[in-house]
Structure 1
Amino acid sequence: MATVGASASLQEFIASLDETCLPRILQVCSGVYFQGSVYELSGSEVCLSTGDIVKIIRINLLAVHCEDISTNEKFELPLTHTGLFKLVPEEMPYNTVEEMVSLRPEGLNSCLPFTFTSRCELTFENFTLGAGRRVTILSMEEREGQETHVRSLVQGHQGSTAEVLVPLTCRGEFYECDSDQCYTLQEIMSSPHLCSRRFRFCKTTMCGGPLVLSPIYQVHAIMHLRKDIVKFPSTLEVDVMDVTEQSQSLTFVSPFTLSEVHSQPEDAFPTMAEILEGPETQPLFLCSWLPELRKGSHLVLHRRGTSPMVLATSLKGRRAQQFFLVSQNYGGRLRRRPREFSSVYELYIALTHTPGLLVSVTRHCEEVEEEGIPVLSVGEQLAVLRVAKVKLACKDQMKTVEALICKRSTEMDEDEDEEDEIEEVSLPLYMQGHFVEKITDNKKNKLADLCQSKALPLDVKVVNRDAGMETDPLMGFPSLRLEEATLEPTIEASLPGSPRQTFEIPIRWLNMSLSFTSDPLPWPSGEPPMCHLETVKEVTDSFYYEFRRLMTSDEPPPPRPPKRIPVLDSKPSKKKGKSRSGEKASSATKDMGKLSLDSDKQKRPPAPPLPDKLSESPPRLTPRKPLKAATTGKAKPNTYVKVDKWKKNVDVCAVFADVDSDHDYESMEEYANAVKKTQESVMFL
């Protein structure tokens, strides 16, 4: 850090400032002004004149300023710059090995090895090191009761190497050699030693000269006799002097974050406060009081504490899904609603929180033998007992899978008189299904009682609204899901115009800056009002997903079903629906299942080869069956006539009608004569 009492440029002072020493009070010493210099920064005017007092409370690294020494080119690099930098060796000599080691960057694993050379010849431990030899320091050797050495690697004339121990007190004229080690911009800025060194790009795409890197900070400060916090970059061309010790009697506005306000003693409340910095532009809450929390507004801070809250969501439907953060002091009454589950894995998760879970099957499920999935019928009752590993026969081999052991029955009677209707069934965790929870409790409960007696998540419905609220936002939903309970550190506050209507500010989810004021409280002294606390806060979907990300533990994903092996043969699939009565398919259905197009093609004779030369004569015409009038009576069933092999090769045109046959055929000549007579009769009409 700059010497106390000496002036320095603002950039140099901030670059050398240790953040653990904040806050620091600075006085502007010099600059180029015309009745005070006004800087327009982020929409606010910052005036710095000679003699002004500024209190630095926080600094944030914004970017890095680079200057090429060879060309005087200046540019800025963002902190996200991914390029690498190589250290430029210092031209000044080092007097001892200890001096070189002590000036290496601390906290970096890349500080060793590094290489140096000696201008003079050195002798230690019967070893002589010639002038100009390259020595690479590998590690430090500290032995109790002995002098500290560095283990070094010395290169010979013909490429040979040798390890030697060089004492730290070895004196000479040492010069640092060029190294292949590269550093990131973040590593350079995090090391005070590296910030003072020169670098060049490992890949000379921008410039190849030596670079001087200087950090650019955003300074958060409070100016004397002003209430708001100003922000300005550290590159302002002003000279400052540290006057922290001489300015202890000066009074500055003390800004507090919400966490700092929460850490104040209890006797500091109630009090009045002024907002110096309001919340972010995209808040996570959808509350009526949130737009009132803007810069310059005042608040009444009643008390601090920790409030138990529950994250509640409306179920997806026609209306857009809504999210709420509900205090367990909520005064409404709730009734449990049955939960719906779409997989056995969800039943398993619910079982871990709700022992003795009872569900009902709402959709029929067919049996799949390859995956060990049993048949489930609509209306069956399942009492989920436990999870266990079971063996399933899949493709003529046994597989061990995790499954839920359930007791299945058509009607779950409490006395369970009908023992033959109750059986155990194993449901693999990867099984899909549709279940609904069976609830026998129809009691109206308080939110705090539900959270204490039941494990979340729970589906509830608000049946009686909170009488302490003008409009209860939870009223009217057919179902709400209580997902997660949490303890939120909060500050109970109210607006000065309505001190009775209080609300809780969750300090983890809002970024604000306050300062305590000496304004009087908005009620008679010693007569605090009866406050009505707002217990429901609607939140955005961004809050919901961020809350779930922080609160959800790293649970393993649900198991996947085994991969189905494609059936290559003509065997029927094993996926089939079976009824519990054990009825078997008819034999006709089994015979039809054996038929396939492939098998039919295999029985057909091969097609005759095409002739080499196509004939010019027209093809033969197939005889047609003449149309007959519809006859009355029942139609005769189709009959299959077995044709002998020797009849297959008979010419079709040579077949004559059989008088004893049920079918009547005519020859081609008769058919042609009939067509000719019909044409002649039409022509003479």
Structure 2
Amino acid sequence: SIYEMFGNECCLSTGEVIKVIGFKINKLIASICENNEVSQLSAKVELPLNFPGLYKVVADKTPYVSIEEITRKISIGPTRFGHPCFYSPEDIKLANLTIKHGEQITFNSVEEVNGTMAVNCGVVRNNQSHSFTLPLSQEGQFYECEDDQIYTLKEIAEWKIPKCRNRIVKLSNVLHTWDCSNPLPENFDGCLILTPVYEVQAVMKFRKDIVHILSDLDVEVKDITDCYDISSFLQPLTLEDIFERTSKEFPMVAEIMEGPSGCPKPYNLLYTGKEIVIYKKYQATRVLASEIRSDSPKRHFLIPMSYKGKFKRRPREFPTAYDLEIARSEKEQLHVVATKAFDSPHEELFSVSVGDQFLVQQCQTTEVLCEGRKKLIDVLACEQILSDAYKKVLLPMYMEGGFVEVVHDKKQYQLSEICKHFRLPFNVKVAVRDLSIEEDILAAVPGLQFEEEITDSYLLISGASSPVESWEIPVYRLNMLVHLLNKDVQTVVPPVTKTTVEEVSEEQYYMVRRYENQSLHPPPRPPKKPT
């Protein structure tokens, strides 16, 4: 049979042996959903996996009848997406624990326990986690829990569509303006039913790349797994697979079977057939930064601590007095100018005019008269800067005004100095670019806001042939397949590591912030105006 693969004709000869290594969703067929059913008026549209937008997953109303069915149809694993949650409408009585009906059960991993395949699970009670196992033979009714996270279509396709089922999603945030090429209706913000179209991923005995075969290809095949030596085939590995290996297995030599597409330097050097050395795996710190601009879309960057450029401060903007309290520091006094007037409803508190300047002091409480009764409220003590004096004033914490920082500090800072001495978010611009980078993409950005420090997973790699530099590649943002080679590493000490500033898409930006903030408590809300 002859078929087309990525625009090229490929031939599957009679008798050719193919090793199937996986199934992957190639694209999604979307229908507008009304009342959990396909709308009779909507046409089906084809959505590529990189279709823009962020989506919420709607919990499937159809129950699973056993733990075994869940493990067969849903991805469970060590990565961030591989922890689905279910509940049972009936109590589940275990040897030392009873899972109450309706209680959220998190599925963490599948492994053999005392000779029986089981799922490692957990429930949270009173902020304490309780672990237990459920055998695959456990029967009952298990329903998906509501999921409040947001995902890209690609993440939903890889992790959130059960095998042999469709998935309903709700559009959470459109990241790009609508145009005539968008297959969805203009201003659409409803639900979609996604039907996956699969492809088979396979390796052939005399090819070093991955073969992608559409699932509707009309080819007859026979299962010969039990009577064939499959060790003669190459074993493709993702970056996640490499990262899960023990530290003792590094360094290792690998050949790229499928490189990342459309990537900037240095990732564009990772082409199919290139041999690389993978020296080690580790967690590394990055500063997440966004371009300062009033219109969208903004550019987003992950800056390594090894960045050698220098930054100068830029004024920060604060929408409320509460934000001034969060930003104030013991190391330097915060000096701001009001950009919006505020008329105080209480005599005890100060009314602000545009252009008023303040030195922020501290948070405190004070009594105000509200409808004939005294109330205690939070206020921000400041000094108003007059032409020849300072005046002590109180601003209500709930005040929705506007302030711009007056920057007196003209010093140039390294990235590490900013992270050590100042509280993020922090506004800067590049004063001296990093001369070790051929093209410093930060230097052309007029202003940057450092938003937060994040920790992410990286592999340190170089070319295998006479490498002069090494670089870090992100495990979860670079799609790549390799196979390991039985070769000795020429030198176990990696060459000098090249500094790489990674520009991330808006979808990746939201995902990075979501991962980093999963374990953090949400910030307190600013106080409300007393009534």
Shared fold by TM > 0.5?
yes
Q: Tell me whether 1:547 sits opposite 2:519 in the alignment.
A: no
> Which residue in the other structure is 1:276 paired with?
257
Q: Is residue 348–residue 404 contact of structure 1 (8 Å, CA) maintained in 2?
A: no
Tell me the secondary structure at the aligned position of residue 429 of structure 1. Answer: coil
Aligned position for 1:492: 460
Q: Distance in 2 between matches of 1:288 and 1:78?
A: 38
Q: Which aligned pairs between 1:42-441 and structure 2 lie closer than 5 A? A: 42-60=6-24, 83=37, 106-107=65-66, 189=164, 217-248=198-229, 250-266=231-247, 268-279=249-260, 287-316=264-293, 322-351=299-328, 354-355=329-330, 358-363=333-338, 366=341, 368-370=343-345, 374-376=350-352, 378=355, 380-386=357-363, 388=365, 392-393=368-369, 396-398=371-373, 403-410=378-385, 421-436=390-405
CA-to-aligned-CA distance 1:395-414 (integer Å, 9 cap, x gap): x45586854321324389xx
TM-score (norm 2): 0.58
State the AA in 2 paired with 1:533. Answer: K
Q: Is the 8 A contact 1:468 1:532 kept in 2?
A: no
Task: Please state whether the residue corresponding to 1:345 is helix, strand or coil.
Answer: helix
The separation in 1 between residues aligned to 2:15 and 2:320, in whole angstroms, is 73
**Could you say what secondary structure the match of 2:469 adopts?**
strand
Q: Deviations over 1:55-108 (max 9, x none)?
A: 2221246899xxxxxxxxxxx998989549xxxxxxxxxxxxxxxxxxx97249
Counterpart of 1:171? none
What pairs up with 1:497-536 in 2 under 5 angstroms? 499-517=467-485, 525-526=490-491, 530-536=495-501
Report the counterpart of residue 469 of structure 1 in structure 2: 437
Displacement after TM superposition at 1:330 (Å): 1.9
Q: CA–CA distance in 1 between the matches of 2:273 and 2:257? A: 6
- Cα offset for 1:555? 4.4
SS in 2 for 1:455: coil
Letter of the structure 2 residue corresponding to residue 55 of structure 1: K
SS of corresponding position for 1:346? helix
- Looking at structure 1, the residues matched to 275 and 287 of structure 2 have their Cα atoms a distance apart, in angstroms, of 29
Deviation, structure 1 residue 518? 5.1
Contact 2:311 2:413 in 1 (8 A): yes
- Give the CA deviation at 1:489: 0.8
Q: How far has the Cα of 1:216 moved from its partner?
A: 7.5
Change (3 A) 1:555 1:227: same
Q: Distance in 2 between matches of 1:318 and 1:558?
A: 26
User: Which deviates the most, 553-562 or 309-318?
Assistant: 553-562
Question: Structure 2 vs 1, CA of residues 141 and 258 (structure 1 numbering), >3 Å: closer, same or farther?
Answer: closer
Gaps spanning 5+ residues in structure 1: where?
1-36, 65-75, 85-103, 109-138, 144-185, 192-214, 413-417, 564-685
Q: Secondary structure at the match of 2:65?
A: coil
Instruction: Tell me which amino acid in the other structure corresponds to 1:221.
Output: A
Change (3 A) 1:225 1:482: same
Contact 1:361 1:436 in 2 (8 A): yes
Please list the CA deviations of residues 321-356 of structure 1 after superposition, one character each: whole Å capped at 9, or x if unmatched.
5432111122234454443324323213324xx457
State how far apart, in whole Å, the 1-side matches of 2:309 and 2:277 are.
27
Q: CA RMSD in A?
A: 4.7
Partner of residue 181, structure 2: none
Distance in 2 separating the partners of 1:78 and 1:365: 46
d(CA) in 2 for partners of 1:259, 1:364? 49
> Which of 411, 419, 425 is 1:451 aligned to?
419
Alignment size in residue pairs: 385
Partners of 1:262 and 1:49 in 2: CA distance:
36
Residues 1:481 and 2:456 aligned together: no
Whether the 8 Å CA contact 1:302–1:492 is kept in 2: the answer is yes
Cα distance in 2 for residues equivalent to 1:562 and 1:478: 41
| 1:550-608 deviations in Å (ceiling 9; x for gaps) | 44564466567689xxxxxxxxxxxxxxxxxxxxxxxxxxxxxxxxxxxxxxxxxxxxx
2:186 paired residue number:
none
Q: Contact (CA 8 Å) 2:199, 2:213: kept in 1 or not?
A: yes
CA deviations 1:195-229 (Å, max 9, x no partner) are xxxxxxxxxxxxxxxxxxxx975322212222122
Q: 1:569-608 counterparts in 2 under 5 A?
A: none
Task: Give, in whole Å, the separation in 2 of the partners of 1:471 and 1:140.
Answer: 61
Of 483-492 and 460-469, more deviation after overlay is shown by: 460-469
Task: Report if the CA contact (8 A) 1:466-1:472 is conserved.
Answer: yes
TM-aligned CA deviation for residue 509 of structure 1 = 1.3
**CA separation of 1:238 and 1:188: change in aligned 2, threshold 3 A:** closer
Partner SS, residue 468 of structure 2: strand
SS in structure 2 at match of 1:452? helix
Change (3 A) 1:187 1:503: closer
Q: What 5-or-longer segments of structure 2 have no aligned partner?
A: 39-62, 68-88, 94-160, 167-195
Contact 2:472–2:497 (8 Å) recurs in 1: no
Instruction: Report the Cα offset of residue 294 of structure 1.
Output: 3.9
Please identify the structure whose Cα radius of gyration is greater.
1
**Local SS of the residue matching 2:470:** strand
Judge conservation of contact 2:314–2:447 (CA < 8 Å) in 1. yes
CA–CA separation in structure 1 for the residues paired with 2:447 and 2:90: 68
Residues in 1 aligned to 2:385 and 2:6: alpha-carbon distance in whole angstroms? 71
Distance 1:43 1:400 in 2: 73
- Distance, in Å, in 2 between the alignment partners of 1:217 and 1:339 is 49
Cα drift, residue 258 of structure 1: 1.0
Deviation at 1:293, TM superposition (A): 3.4
Who is 2:178 aligned against? none
SS of 2:241 mapped into structure 1: helix
Contact 1:366 1:374 (C-alpha < 8 Å) held by counterparts: no
Compared with structure 1, are the counterparts of its residues 444 and 269 closer, same or farther at alpha carbon in structure 2 (3 Å cutoff)?
same
Single out whichever of 303-312 and 429-438 deviates more from structure 2.
429-438
- Which amino acid counterpart does residue 434 of structure 1 have in structure 2? F
Q: Percent identity?
A: 27
CA shift in 2, pair 1:189/1:539, >3 Å:
closer
Q: CA deviation at 1:477?
A: 5.6
C-alpha displacement of 1:278 = 3.0
Structure showing greater relative contact order (alpha-carbon pairs closer than 8 Å, 6 or more residues apart): 2
Q: Distance in 1 between matches of 2:447 and 2:18?
A: 56
In 2 relative to 1, CA 140–349 (structure 1 residues): closer, same or farther, beyond 3 Å? closer
8 Å CA contact 1:356–1:383 kept in 2: the answer is no
Give the residue type in structure 1 aligned to 2:238: T
C-alpha displacement of 1:189: 3.5
Distance 1:512 1:367, change over 3 A: closer
Q: Is the partner of 1:51 in helix, strand or coil?
A: coil
